[in-house]
Amino acid sequence: MTRIYQKKELIILFFLCLSFVVIKLALSNYITFFWDAIANLSKPAYFFYNTNFHAIFLPANYVSDPPLLQLYVAFMWKILGRSLATTHIIMTIFPIISMVQLFILCKRLVSNKNFWFIYFMVLLDATFLSQTFLLDNDEVIVAFSLLSINAILSNKRTLLSLYLLGMGLVSIRGMDITLGLFVAYFLIYRRKGKKLYNDFVYALIPFLPVISLFLIYISAKKLLLGYFFISDINPWKEFADFVSFSGLIHNVLALGFAFIDYGRIFIWLLAFVLLWKYGHKKFFTSKLQSIWIIWISILGSMLFITLPIQNPIGERYFILHFLLFSLLIGIIMFENIKDQKAKIASFFIILALLSGNFWLYPEKKAQAWDASLVYIPYFSLRQQVIKYCEKEHIDLNTVGFGFPNTADLKYIDVNEDNRYFSDLDFKRNQYIIFSHFPNWDTQLDSIKHTKLLKTYRSLGLSMSIYKNTYYVNQ
């Protein structure tokens, strides 16, 4: 479908992006580094900043991802000053890119009269929204993935090569998606009756720069440091091991849950209804063929890496899959159901997706805290706990808090505060903080020998400070 950008649509897109920027910057001193981003992005960026970029390789106990994003953040800190607000400012560009690229992708496939219904069905996925306000590499991966997909569909090979560099050199997962996009690109532009070798080389050429640089990087690590990805002393080494058969089943179930979590179950229910009522021929039309090929290819590449490995399945890993699937189902719905009914259905789907930001599971149920905006109250609760400890003259390192709060505060708040909370251990901690984060059994066990001192609550979340009576009685 020919893309015709109407002035009214561009104005709406501009104000959507502007509104996002205003909200994100308003929260720039509130939302700190969170969850895996503390180890994935903040700590490595500090390393490059403090060493003045004298080393290209991170220490052996750091993350194993290619360091392009961490270098970018550290470099911008040198120019603009190191602060939480600065970090949000320099990361804001990536969600904006995603919003614009989703707009372009939808315009390529969706008629004007249905455009905004489908666009919001895609844009308002809870996990996508959650990452746009956080500081992490997944928002970068999504942005460059969407740029790459639009370049593939337009067959803009030079731009595709540039976009792939921004994705494949940011993380190993980005490189995994890159390989999936290569398969998709080859299949989309495979010519019937032509030699397979020629089409393979044609598809490979735009991918050669990122593949070559990635291979050079990991080969240099092996040559100079003795390992390709993760060293034996890396604290995440155990998560890179292969799973047992029962572990594989667990990963499959976890992946299935991730795809229906936070309101996405209604997208899948709609998909099954449409497939049952209209059949596969209406589902897999020639118009949607390229998007289906991309979706299946990147899903296959991701499953090949994630399912056999012990690393827990992260919902944010599959944001791109969520967005493309919502786009596909939205288009199929509007092409097969009368406009009025389709618009009503899309309205309820949008509400369901927004409701995902309020899904709060019981304390004993593990939850992907970085996959919806349900985390918003966490930051104020954490500050209240710190202020309470300061008021009561409690050393933070005597307080058991647990992940993701055992890193130095400077890595979380982007400052010079070297204090830190301890890992949870009720035999060692004088105080215990119990919260919804991260729902580990050790937290539940630790409060059996405690006396409640203070509880803070906000929007269904809570953090409680306990005196450890077990420690006192020893």
Residue type, 254: A
Report the distance separating Cα 355 and Cα 361, nearest Å. Answer: 13
Residue type, 213: L
Crossing angle of helices 289-306 and 319-336, in 10° steps, is 150
Report the distance separating Cα 357 and Cα 341, nearest Å. Answer: 26
Strand 399-400 with 431-435, pairing: parallel
Residue type, 199: D
Q: What is the pTM of this model?
A: 0.95
- Using a 10 angstrom Cβ sphere, with 0-12 exposed, 13-18 middle and 19 or more buried, the burial of residue 296 is middle
> Could you identify the residue written with the tokens 């050393």?
395
pLDDT value of position 118: 97
- Encode pLDDT of 358-392 as tens digits: 999 887 777 899 999 999 999 999 999 999 999 99
Say if residues 327 and 106 touch (Cβ distance below 8 Å).
Answer: yes
Say if residues 415 and 407 touch (Cβ distance below 8 Å).
Answer: no
> Is 60 exceeded by the pLDDT of residue 428?
yes
Phi, psi of 108 (to 5 degrees): -65, -30
Residue type, 296: I
Report the distance separating Cα 99 and Cα 119, nearest Å. Answer: 10
Residue type, 405: N
- Encode pLDDT of 99-154 as tens digits: 999 999 999 999 888 999 999 999 999 999 999 999 999 999 999 999 999 999 99
Residue type, 111: S
Over range 273-300, report the average pLDDT: 95
- Encode pLDDT of 8-57 as tens digits: 999 999 999 999 999 999 999 999 999 999 999 999 999 999 999 998 89
